[in-house]
Amino acid sequence: MQVTLIKASADSEFKKYKASMGGPPQNIFSVAATTPENIQVELIDETVGMKVKYNTKSEIIGIFMSTPDAIRAYEIADKFRKKGKVVVLGGLHPTFLPDESLLHADAIIRGEAEGCWEQIIKDVENNVLQKQYKQDEPFDLSKLNPYPTNIVNMSWYGNIWSVVVGRGCNHGCRYCVVNPFFKSCRFRPIEHVIAEIKQCGAKLIELHADNLIANRDYAISLFKAMEPLNIQWMGEATIMIAEDDELLDWAVRSGLKYMLIGIETPSKEALESVGKGFIDVDNVKKYVKKLQSKGIQLDASFLFGFDAHKKNIFQRTLDYAKEVGVDECHGVIMTPFPGTPLYRQMKKKGRINTEDWSKYDCTHAVFDPIGMTPKELEDGTWWFDVEFHKWQKKNKKVPKPPVIPPPSPNRSTNSSQSSDSLGSVRSMAFTNPSDFKWRTFLALGLIATSLFMNWNWIWSVFFLYWAILDIKSGYTFSVEPISRNENPILYWLIIILWLGLAIYSIYDVVINLYVDWFYLNL
Ligand code: SF4
In angstroms, the CA 415 to CA 413 distance is: 7
> pLDDT at residue 167 above 60?
yes
Query: What is the 170 CA–ligand 1 centroid distance (Å)?
Result: 8
Give ipTM to 2 decimals: 0.99
Ligand 1 proximity of 210 Cβ (cutoff 6 Å): yes
Do 138 and 115 meet the contact criterion of CB atoms below 8 Å apart? no
Per-residue pLDDT tens over the stretch 288-327 = 999 999 999 998 889 999 999 999 999 999 999 999 988 8
Q: Put residue 396 in one of left, alpha, beta given phi > 0 → left and psi -120 to 50 → alpha.
A: left
Query: What is the 16 CA–ligand 1 centroid distance (Å)?
Result: 22
Q: Which of 44-53, 155-164, 242-251 has the lowest mean pLDDT?
A: 155-164
Query: What is the 267 CA–ligand 1 centroid distance (Å)?
Result: 17
Per-residue pLDDT tens over the stretch 313-323 = 999 999 999 99
Q: Where are the domains of the chain?
A: 2-134, 158-424, 438-520
By percentage, how much of the chain surpasses pLDDT 90? Answer: 59
In angstroms, the CA 402 to CA 431 distance is: 9
* 158-424, CATH topology level: pyruvate-formate lyase- activating enzyme (3.80.30)
Closest atom of ligand 1 relative to the 179 alpha carbon = 5
Average pLDDT, the chain: 86
pLDDT of residue 436: 56
Per-residue pLDDT tens over the stretch 433-480 = 344 567 788 888 888 888 888 787 888 888 888 888 778 666 677 776
> pLDDT at residue 247 above 90?
yes
Ligand 1 proximity of 410 Cβ (cutoff 6 Å): no
Ligand 1 proximity of 415 Cβ (cutoff 6 Å): yes
pLDDT of residue 87: 98
Closest atom of ligand 1 relative to the 238 alpha carbon = 3
Beta partners for residue 481, in sequence order: 477
Is residue 335 very low, low, confident or very high in pLDDT (cuts 50, 70, 90)?
Answer: very high
> pLDDT at residue 394 above 60?
yes
Is residue 174 very low, low, confident or very high in pLDDT (cuts 50, 70, 90)?
Answer: very high
Minimum CA distance residue for ligand 1 atom 2: 415
**DSSP assignments along 42-105, one per residue:** EEEEGGGTPPP-TT---SEEEEEE-GGGHHHHHHHHHHHHHTT-EEEEEEHHHHH-HHHHHTT-
Ligand 1 pocket mutation pick from 259, 416, 418 by most atoms within 8 angstroms of CB: 416
Query: What is the 368 CA–ligand 1 centroid distance (Å)?
Result: 23
Is residue 420 very low, low, confident or very high in pLDDT (cuts 50, 70, 90)?
Answer: very low
Query: What is the 484 CA–ligand 1 centroid distance (Å)?
Result: 39
Ligand 1 proximity of 332 Cβ (cutoff 6 Å): no
> pLDDT at residue 262 above 50?
yes
> pLDDT at residue 387 above 90?
yes
pLDDT of residue 486: 62
pLDDT of residue 433: 37
Query: What is the 176 CA–ligand 1 centroid distance (Å)?
Result: 6
Angle at which helix 116-125 crosses helix 26-34, to 10 degrees, equals 60
> pLDDT at residue 409 above 50?
no
pLDDT of residue 67: 95
In angstroms, the CA 496 to CA 140 distance is: 48
38 versus 159: which is more confidently predicted?
Answer: 38
Specify the 3-state DSSP secondary structure of 183. coil
Ligand 1 proximity of 413 Cβ (cutoff 6 Å): no
239 versus 512: which is more confidently predicted?
Answer: 239
pLDDT of residue 474: 65
Query: What is the 429 CA–ligand 1 centroid distance (Å)?
Result: 27
Per-residue pLDDT tens over the stretch 426-440 = 333 333 334 456 778
Residue 134: φ, ψ to 5°? -155, 135
Ligand 1 pocket mutation pick from 177, 210, 236, 332 by most atoms within 8 angstroms of CB: 210
pLDDT of residue 415: 37
Per-residue pLDDT tens over the stretch 12-36 = 766 666 666 656 778 888 899 999 9
CATH 1.20.120 given to domain 2-134: no
Ligand 1 proximity of 265 Cβ (cutoff 6 Å): no
Ligand 1 proximity of 417 Cβ (cutoff 6 Å): no
For residue 300, give Cα distances in angstroms to 143, 192, 383, 415, 462.
33, 30, 17, 12, 43
Do 6 and 76 meet the contact criterion of CB atoms below 8 Å apart? yes
- Single-letter amino acid code for the residue at 328: E
Specify the 3-state DSSP secondary structure of 158. coil
Query: What is the 262 CA–ligand 1 centroid distance (Å)?
Result: 8
Q: Considering only CA atoms, give the Rg of the chain.
A: 25
Q: Which residue, 446, 497, 443, is CA-closest to 470?
A: 497
Query: What is the 499 CA–ligand 1 centroid distance (Å)?
Result: 52
pLDDT of residue 16: 67
Per-residue pLDDT tens over the stretch 114-147 = 999 999 999 999 999 999 999 989 999 999 998 8
> pLDDT at residue 509 above 60?
yes
